Chain A
Amino acid sequence: MLSIENLQWGLNGKLVIDGLNMHVGRGEIYGILGENGTGKTSLTHLIMGTNNYKPTGGDILFEGQNLAGLSISQRARMGISLAWQEPVRIEGLMVEDYLRISGKNFGIEQVKHCLEMVGLSPSIYLSRDIDSTLSGGERKRIEMASLVAMHPKLAILDEPDSGVDIPSLPLILNSIMEMSRQGSSVLLITHNEKVVEIAHRVSVLCGGKIFMTGTPAETSHWFKDNCQTCPHINEPVEL
């Protein structure tokens, strides 16, 4: 589904993504676990083509097609979509309309279902605007609902748990698992090892490189022992 080969991206002479290789299979939930500043969000922009990020080396292939030079819209139409770490506010755009756009002519019942999946009551939220009156957590959940509505082949979720309270986290995790059951592949990005428990495979990212890949249990262990105690943020541990 998604193959990343020797991906590089740098800024000011520093490689933020440094020779990254990975492969996500169809329907797979692929976790990426990394501390702050390790390149997680940069990776999402490189795949989606957002933020004007273009690889300085390597390739990103989706269903065998190289994404180089394709616009965000073209990538989206191929079936890739992104829920941003900090979703933007759009004044005057109603939640209902946003979800309809995401779901391509969704009917109202489908829109309501997506909101319910992320634990938001349609009667309250459908007619709200996606503006600064929404709380951070509400906005995050609507972003999640939007991806559920879109039903992409590949959902890139940048910290879907951040800003979401502990009691609601299972709902969010459930909707991710549901997306995977419905055939979507999910790139699940987080710094929370609890979140990647639902993944099929997890990689640890540091300094723009993948350090190890394994089951959630294996990676969480490794992550705790190495990354969480690592004194140099952004610097890979000496192995």
Chain B
Amino acid sequence: MIYSVEKEYQGMLDAYEKAGGDSNSLKTEGMAKLIVHENKVLSADEVPGVRLKFKPKENGIIAELRVEEGVKVKNPIHLCFGILPSEGLQDITFRVDVLSGAEVKVVAHCIFPNAVHVIHKMDAVINIGENAIFSYNETHYHGDSGGIEVIPKAKVILAEKAFYKNTFSLVQGCVGKLDFDYDIYSGANSVAEMVAKIYGKQDDYIKINEKVNLNGENARSLIKTRIVLRDRARAEVIGETQGNAPYARGHVDCTELVNGTEAVAKAIPVVSVTNDKAKITHEAAIGSIDRRQVETLMARGLDENEAVDVIVKGLLR
């Protein structure tokens, strides 16, 4: 199917709504935003102190987000990436520079409602300056076919006293294949928090590799992963934290729950310390969804998968 730009724009707004976004926020003036369908930028807006540059490349775009020094961006910046047809490749190169003292929140939606053969790749380099605050909230909306591959990779560099929080949520539709790979380099007194919430179904395959290098004195980090699997879904989570500086503190917290006997969850926390004053802790728990919860909801007339969906919604809220 060929989409016109206007139709694409409307299609993305509709899909955005379905994904739980408020499409008004994409239409409002005075909000920085970037809407990308396949390799086309459908809409791009800057606000004072926020620069959004982009240029096309084969099968995608190269985008740059720059928040100038000391700028505290009032409204969240909205990003929306998607592919509406059943097939396609979207390859995004993304560079983020949040200069020192700036504060910004990004709300990103990745929308692939009809994917049968879709690949979404994101290669990001994120620089957070001294005393800057950057929070990035990414929500995925996938269709039910599972014919999608999502490959987000990022290198995040935190300067002194930088604050970085990344929340990745993929609970609607099938994950397909996810290969998530983040590498974080933390400067002195910086704070990094990575949260991932994922619900795998059918034949989904989830691979998460998160690594925090606490290189600066007193740097702090938390890697928190919540995964629920049903059907034949599989997940492998590697959460690695290195304490390389005095008083660095890191914690890895991974919980995976499975329903049924065919889903497979694996958690590999890796903690290492090269400085004797650093302290890294981890907890990993793999369990099953409480059978009594499922049965209670089944006794209200839900079928088993519907019951698990309700429980997961609560767990991953």
Contacts and interface: CB of A to CB of B under 8 A. Distances in A.
Contacts, number: 63
A21 B134 CA distance: 67
Interface string B293-317: 1011111111110010011011111
A102 B293 contact: no
B283 interface: no
A91 interface: yes
A127 to B, nearest CB: 13
Nearest to A77: B301
A210 to B, nearest CB: 24
Given A88-B292, A88-B293, A81 B313 contact: no
Given A76-B300, A88-B290, 9 more contacts: A48-B299, A71-B298, A71-B304, A76-B301, A81-B299, A92-B313, A92-B317, A104-B301, A146-B300
A230 B119 CA distance: 71
B317 A72 contact: no
A150 B316 CA distance: 26
Contact of B310 (A71, A72, A93): A93
B300 A101 contact: yes
Contact of A81 (B293, B300, B303): B300
Contacts of A150: 300-301
Q: How large is the interface on B (under 10, 10 to 19, 20 to 34, 35 or more residues)?
A: 20 to 34
Contacts of A80: 299
A80 B298 CA distance: 11
11 contacts: A72-B295, A73-B298, A73-B307, A76-B299, A80-B299, A81-B300, A88-B292, A88-B296, A92-B314, A93-B311, A93-B313
A186 interface: no
Contacts of B300: 76, 81, 101-102, 146, 150
Contact of A91 (B295, B296, B302, B314): B314
Interface of A: 48, 50-51, 71-73, 75-77, 80-82, 84, 87-88, 90-93, 97, 101-102, 104, 129, 146, 150
A129 B304 CA distance: 21
Contact of A101 (B293, B304, B310, B317): B310
Contacts of B290: 88
A48 B300 CA distance: 11
Nearest to A76: B301
Interface-central residue, B293, B307, B314, B316, by most chain A CB under 10 Å: B314
Contacts of B316: 92
A73 B304 contact: yes
A76 B307 CA distance: 13
B314 A50 contact: no
B300 to A, nearest CB: 5
A90 B300 CA distance: 14
A73 B293 contact: no
Contacts of A76: 298-302
B251 to A, nearest CB: 21
B301 A82 contact: no
A73 B295 CA distance: 8
B311 A51 contact: no
Across the A-B interface, give the 3 residue pairs with the lowest CB-CB distance, nearest first.
Answer: A92-B314, A72-B298, A88-B292
A90 B295 CA distance: 12
A73 B303 contact: yes
Given A88-B292, A88-B293, A93 B299 contact: no
Contacts of A72: 295, 298-299
A79 B238 CA distance: 46
B317 to A, nearest CB: 5
Given A90-B311, A90-B314, A93-B310, A51 B295 contact: yes
Contacts of B307: 73
